[in-house]
Structure 1
Amino acid sequence: GHKMLIDVMEKPEVLFPAHLTLEEAALKIQEKSEERFYDDIIVVRDHDKYFGTLSVRKLLEALTFRSLMLARDENPLTCLPGNWAIKRYIDEKISKNEKFDVIYIDLNNFKPFNDYYGFAKGDEVIVSLGEILKRIQRKYGCFVGHIGGDDFVVVCKPELSYKIASEIVEEFEKLLPYFHGEDYQKGFYISYNRKGEVQTFPLLSLSLAITGTSTRRIESYAHLASVASEVKSMAKQVAKTTGKSAIFEDRRMDQNGNLKSYYRGECGCEEDSLKSTEINWK
């Protein structure tokens, strides 16, 4: 007898929504079984309605081309996209009116660390932080970049930014015993400050500032960087006071509609145990 086509056709293992970015699609490919890895990708939209197909080869070619474009501006130490690649990526998202967060990351007291432990050790710290961000990129499908020196960025979905920031701190703090050696047990080291004076410094920590397009209108990459610099300054102040990593978010509104920055507390602990402090936006 006759059979329905749906009864004899091979069902696709994974459906790819049409709105996925190249990076997100590349991550989703990993869900396919090895024997069907190179089967054409089934693209859907509007509640899984068929939209078309795309060969894995075409997707990988597009991803490779994008990577090569970004590689024209990459940091030689971490091999992460550099300043111009970051600017292009963010300006493109702004032009499309996409909602996204940017996590700005930098090391606290990195200069005295370099002076005390040596520049080779300092380079190891930068490379290690870069590797942490690469793992974050693979896990969440976000964009990561190296602005320069000890400054990095992560561009991600707003709902993921705090989770990612916390994970970065957690992974970084696991490396502190290696970075500091015997000084790790003491919890400090003695080096020279910018004035050439002997000073006691805490162990390395991170300042993370989260801002984005979900709480304010951002006109350009330069505008975003300007907004972020204020949030970064607050994170730096807290980290300097506590001697530990700090995450600041520029996303809360008060009852009058004014923006507030939001300190999510000292990192390295579970989110539900964080002590939070609101600070009026100035």
Structure 2
Amino acid sequence: MLGNMSRSYRHELYGRKPCTRFMDAAPLVVDIGVTLSELTDVVVGADPRHLISGFVITDHERYVGMGSVQDLVRVVTEMQMQAAKYSNPLTQLPGNVPINQHIDNLLEAGEACCIAYCDLDHFKPFNDVYGYAMGDEVIRLTARVLTGSCDAELDFIGHIGGDDFVLIMRSEDWEARCNRALANFGAEILKFFSSDDIERGGYITENRKGEMEFHRLTALSIGAIDVKPGMFRNHLQVSIAAAEVKKRAKAIHGNSLYINQRLYTSEANTAR
């Protein structure tokens, strides 16, 4: 409005005309609940004029404020830089810092979720025998399988490091998703072994002492905790409980899922 009215003769021409003459009859309106990713898609697909005029923010169709594309670009860029800073270089998945932040945010908001600690069994001997390059391929396979089992809108996957991953799932069918990941991994990992190895359930190699040693096929173990509001205070408590259920999952032969059976009190957070 100021830009228009500051031009020559604009006051004389439009000073007594209604302001609707300068209004946008079809503004870009977004609800306050949309995610930044969804908002970015909306802005990119909208008329180019909105890149300058911005967008109207509403809450249940009531006006809240205005947003500018410049601010949106800045925030998205900062998020991308932050994600790249703490992402795992092999899988490009979020690392420890964003994992802990995400857990703390959900705990603070009182949202229920499943936190699943995922780890590979018999991975070290595979890495030693087949080399780090093949080991990296197994890590990438694990990342793809776990990512494919998540709901992109509700779930979060992070790579702690090495062969350790964390799933933070708000999907109600999280148990079925974990079992799907185990089945898919079990089918995909066979590509790394010969038919003879698959038939006998492992492979025989010479260890550092010159002795022949049997190693089982690499398997995926998932230890899951169904987190209820108030069960944990922070990610440190979660990590201790998750490490315990992961250990129990690894004690089960083959691709396995162990769901926490312990009761954690909301106050002292001690297991019973």
- Alpha-carbon spacing, 1:111–1:56, altered in 2? closer, same or farther (3 Å): same
Structure 2: 5+ residue runs without aligned partners? 1-24, 265-270
Deviation at 1:212, TM superposition (A): 4.7
Structure 2 match to 1:248? 258
Stretch deviating more after TM superposition (214-223 or 127-136):
127-136
Q: Distance in 1 between matches of 2:87 and 2:223?
A: 22
Report the equivalent of 1:5.
none
Query: What letter matches 1:96 in structure 2?
Result: A
Aligned residues: 238
TM-score w.r.t. the length of structure 1 is 0.66
- Give me the whole-angstrom Cα distance separating, in 2, the residues matched to 1:194 and 1:43: 64
User: Partner letter of residue 37 of structure 2?
Assistant: A
2:140 to 127, 135, 143: 127
Higher strand share: 1
Structure 1's 198 and 100: CA in aligned 2 closer, same or farther, altered over 3 A? same
AA aligned to 1:146 is H
Q: From 215, 218, 241, give the equivalent of 1:227.
A: 241
Instruction: Mark the runs of 5 or more structure 1 residues left unpaired by the alignment.
Output: 1-8, 260-280
The percent identity for this pair of structures is: 27
User: Which of 99, 107, 111 is residue 98 of structure 1 equivalent to?
Assistant: 111
Match runs of 1:1-282 below 5 Å: 18=33, 22=35, 26=37, 61-136=74-149, 139-157=152-170, 159-183=172-196, 185-191=198-204, 198-214=212-228, 217-238=231-252, 240=253, 243=254, 245-250=255-260, 258=263
Tell me which residue corresponds to 2:21. none
Cross-structure match for 2:22: none
> What one-letter code is carried by the residue in structure 2 that aligns with 1:70?
A
**Residues in 2 aligned to 1:222 and 1:158: alpha-carbon distance in whole angstroms:** 23
Give, in angstroms, the shift of residue 115 of structure 1.
2.3
Give the stretch that moved more between structures: 108-117 or 126-135. Answer: 126-135
Considering only aligned residues, what root-mean-square deviation do their CA atoms show, in Å?
3.8
CA distance in 1, matches of 2:245, 2:208: 26
Offset of 1:210 from its aligned partner?
A: 1.4
* TM-score when normalising by structure 2: 0.68
CA contact (8 A) 1:190 1:198 kept: no
Larger relative contact order (Cα-Cα within 8 Å, sequence gap ≥ 6): 2
8 A Cα contact 2:95 2:159, kept in partner? yes
Which structure has the bigger radius of gyration?
2
- Give the letter aligned to residue 247 of structure 1: L
Q: Cα distance 1:120–1:92, how it changes in 2: closer, same or farther (>3 A)? A: same
